[in-house]
Amino acid sequence: MKEIGFVVMACFALVFAAAQNRADSDPVTKVLALENVWNQAEARKDTKAMDALLDNALVYVDYDGSFQTKAEFLSRVKSAASQPQQEITESVTGHMFGGTVIVTGLYRAKGMENGKSYVRRGRFVDTWTLKAGSWVCVASQATPIAH
C-alpha cells in the first residue's frame, strides 16, 4: 500500500512540475515573440510599434558603449543613415526571474554608415518587465564580438 501511495505522490509531483514549467515559460515565450516584433519594427522604422515595446525610462547601451534614452534610440531608428541593411539574431534565449525576463542572444548586422560598409557581430542582453499588463523592455545592451 505504501508503494501505491508513493507512486501517486510521484505522479502528482510530476504533473505539478510540468504545469509549473508551462506557467513559467509562457511569459518567456511572449517576450521572445516581442523580441521578433522589435526586430521587424526596427527594420521597417516603425517607431510607433517600437514606442509600445520600450519603457519610457529605457536604458540602451549600444555596441560602441554609447548610452541612449528611449527618445534618442527611436530617433536613431527613424534616421536612414544609421539603419542596418540586414540584421539577424540567433541563439536567443529567455530566463524568467520573478516578474522580469532576461533575453540573451547573438546578432549580426550589415549596413552602411558614413558612406562605408560595416559588418558587426555581438551579443545582446534585453531586460523585460511586466508593467500595467504589458511586457516592455527596460534595458538593452549590446557587446561586440571580435571577428
44-49 long-range Cβ contacts below 8 angstroms, 24+ apart: 45/77, 45/78, 45/80, 45/83, 47/74, 47/77, 47/78
Is the per-residue pLDDT at 97 higher than 50? yes
Model confidence at 26: pLDDT above 80: yes
Confidence of residue 81 (pLDDT cuts 50, 70, 90): low
Specify the higher pLDDT residue, 78 or 11: 78
Q: What is the CATH number of the domain that holds 87?
A: 3.10.450.50
Does residue 6 have a pLDDT over 90?
no
Q: Please tell me the pTM assigned to this model.
A: 0.77
Supply the pLDDT for residue 4.
Answer: 47
Residue with cell 499588463: 133
d(CA 74, CA 80): 12
Average pLDDT over residues 85-89: 79
Find the domain containing 19 and state its range. 2-144
Task: Tally the domains of the chain.
Answer: 1
Q: Point out the least confidently predicted range of 5-9, 78-82, 84-88, 123-127.
A: 5-9
Helix ranges, 44-132 (H): 47-53, 70-78
Residues 34-53, mean pLDDT to the nearest whole number: 91
Give the per-residue pLDDT at 86: 74
Closest CA to 58 of 73, 71, 42, 69: 69
Contacts of residue 122, defined as CB under 8 A and 6 or more positions apart, other chains included, come to 63, 106, 107, 142, 143, 144, 145
pLDDT score of 57 more than 90: yes
